[in-house]
Amino acid sequence: MKKKPHLGGAMVIALAVLVGASATAQAQDTAENAIKYRQTIMKTLGGHLGAIAAIAKGEVSVSDHAARHAAAIASITEMMPDIFAENTGPDSGVKTRATAAIWQETDKFQQVIAVAQAEANKLVEVASSGDAGAIGAQLGALGKNGCGACHTGFRSN
């Protein structure tokens, strides 16, 4: 006589998947949540930039970490188009340093992001060389052409 498979565990797993999918679908992208998320992403970016700068300056002896920080920086620049939702500007009622120019000059803003992405991808290539001088130079190019261009035109202080 064949035993019938016990479906209790499978049913529990299926229910858990459905509940999890339902909770995900109900996530609320309120302006406050979206701005907090964006600020967290940008602080994370700043952390990686600071870490790779310390490596390039020879302040720390973990030069093998440069490539990993560069990869994280490039990954974060790929997220940037998604973290400036329409309802997250200065008129949202939530404190933010993002200026209205982001949504008023969308094409220009997207071009600045594209430059930042290109410079970050170059940093990934350079960082794998382990050449601190080259890493520092490319970090400077990213800072000037990517980060600086965005902060100058699209961020208030």
> Where do the domains of the chain lie?
30-154
Q: Quickly count: other Cβ atoms within 10 Å of residue 35's Cβ.
A: 22
Confidence of residue 6 (pLDDT cuts 50, 70, 90): low
Please state, in angstroms and rounded to a whole number, the distance separating the CA atoms of residues 17 and 157: 44
Q: What is the pLDDT of residues 55-107, one digit of tens each?
A: 999 999 998 999 999 999 999 999 999 999 999 999 999 999 999 999 999 99
**Res 18 pLDDT > 70:** no
Which one of 1.10.287.1260, 1.20.120.10, 1.10.760.10, 1.10.287.980 gives the CATH number of domain 30-154? Answer: 1.20.120.10
Alpha helices in the chain (DSSP H): 8-25, 31-56, 66-79, 101-104, 106-127, 132-142, 149-154
Q: What is the pLDDT of residues 110-153, one digit of tens each?
A: 999 999 999 999 999 999 998 999 999 999 999 999 999 999 98
- Pair of tokens at residue 61: 């002896």
- Pair of tokens at residue 18: 């459905």
